[in-house]
Amino acid sequence: MSESFRVGVNYWPASSAMRWWQQFDGDETARDFARMRASGGDLVRLFLLWEDFQPDPERVSEDALAHLLTVADLASANRLQILPTLFCGHMSGANFIPEWALGRSGGARFRTVAKGRVDTRVTRNWYADDEIGRAQALLARECARALAGHPALWGWDLGNENSNCCIPPSRELGIRWLERMAEAIRRSDPRCHLTLGLHMEDLQEDRRIGPAEAARVCDILCMHGYPMYCSWAAGPTDAALLGFLAAVTRQLGGRDVLFAEFGAATRSDDRQADRLWGDRLLDEKVAGEYIERAFATVHAAGTIGGLVWCFADYAERIWSELPLDDAPHERHFGLWRPDGEPKPAASALGRWSGRDRAAPPASAWSGDLDPARFYDAPLQTLERLYGARSGDRLARSVL
């Protein structure tokens, strides 16, 4: 029997965003999951905010684990599967880190958030810091134990764009960390999928933990990509970029790929977002057309499936909260509006749900990508290969 193409979303509730686990509302999540399923979704990626699940390095919150089990039960009741993401970590332009995992003060690309406020300290490098590594292994083990054998569990994601929090000092330390986390999960659940939330910047730069390293322990590779953030894309609706990134990821790591994040921010009555993001915000109809093309492209690229960022726009009353206060476009990536009404893009879930997965095609440029030498000049290689517009040809062949 053919394998089905997975279709779904990344999930935070509209009412609470990253405060979900502190303000847990099972009824809201039940309604949201019912909407996802009715629209055709079958896989939900969700995020275990690190400080909520592990308030100190030697303890995992029993309350948080209970909420996680409730979420899994709600998913099962709605015929959904879940992909929980550990060590979050990087989220919507900020790094949410427990205070006990912070080190020195210093400049960082992204704001650090701890206990609901901005902290001037930066994350201790968890690839090199054994105390942090032990704590993370404890969290991975206890979460895996809580959901082992649950029918809703599809797999575990070992982090969301981890290289935005810290980068391994060496490739060897990155691999050692991956092996440690995988072992912690496999002790409790030897059968679930394992993946790692890689993103486009992990291809553009050598951050020493890319597809080849992830493939040492992960049976599935992930990629996140947004044309609106890509200087070498043809524009914010260049859906062909996603198929190209998926193909590169597969060639570098030699594993199947789940395209775990793609999406488009839409215009609304939000002056701050309009002022700061301008023409990168799309009309809802245009965004819907883009999401449709994005699904077509990642399906034709032979991926396992595609997950849209994200479930819903956030309620206006939380726009002033971290990190939405300083990232107004993040308020408007949803397939649904905060009141539960679907945007046009939500209908793409149903149109791509239940299809057979396509076989990964041979790329016209594959002979020009040497995995062993790729990171000698990664950005230049990507720009050169994508300049051949192989992605455009792939997209046109399926639309």
Buried b / exposed e over 287-299, threshold 16 CB at 10 Å, is bbbbbbbbbbbbb
DSSP assignments along 315-351, one per residue: PGGGTTSTTTTT-GGGGG--SB-TTSPBPGGGHHHHH
CB atoms within 10 A of CB 25: 14
CATH of domain 6-398: 3.20.20.80
Among 155, 147, 211, 202, CA closest to 178: 211
* Residue found under tokens 């799309």: 282
In the chain, what's the furthest Cα-to-Cα distance? 55
The one-digit pLDDT tens for each residue of the chain (399 residues) are 479 999 999 999 999 999 999 999 999 999 999 999 999 999 999 999 999 999 999 999 999 999 999 999 999 999 999 999 999 999 999 999 999 999 999 888 999 999 999 999 999 999 999 999 999 999 999 999 999 999 999 999 999 999 999 999 999 999 999 999 999 999 999 999 999 999 999 999 999 999 999 999 999 999 999 999 999 999 999 999 999 999 999 999 999 999 999 999 999 999 999 999 998 999 999 999 999 999 999 999 999 999 999 999 999 999 999 999 999 999 999 999 999 999 999 999 999 999 999 999 998 899 999 999 999 999 999 999 999 654 444 443 333
Cα 344 to Cα 360: distance, rounded to the nearest angstrom: 29
SS3 letters for 147-163? Answer: HCCCCCECEEEEEECHH
Residues with Cβ within 8 Å of residue 218, at least 6 apart in sequence: 158, 178, 182, 194, 195, 196, 255
Q: How wide is the angle at C-alpha 34 spanned by C-alphas 30 and 38, nearest 5°?
A: 175
- Model-level pTM? 0.96
Size of the chain, expressed as the number of residues it contains: 399
Q: Any idea what DSSP says for residue 99?
A: G
Six-digit token string for 227: 């044309």
- Is the link from the previous residue into 89 a cis peptide, with omega within 30 of 0? yes
Cα 105 to Cα 268: distance, rounded to the nearest angstrom: 37
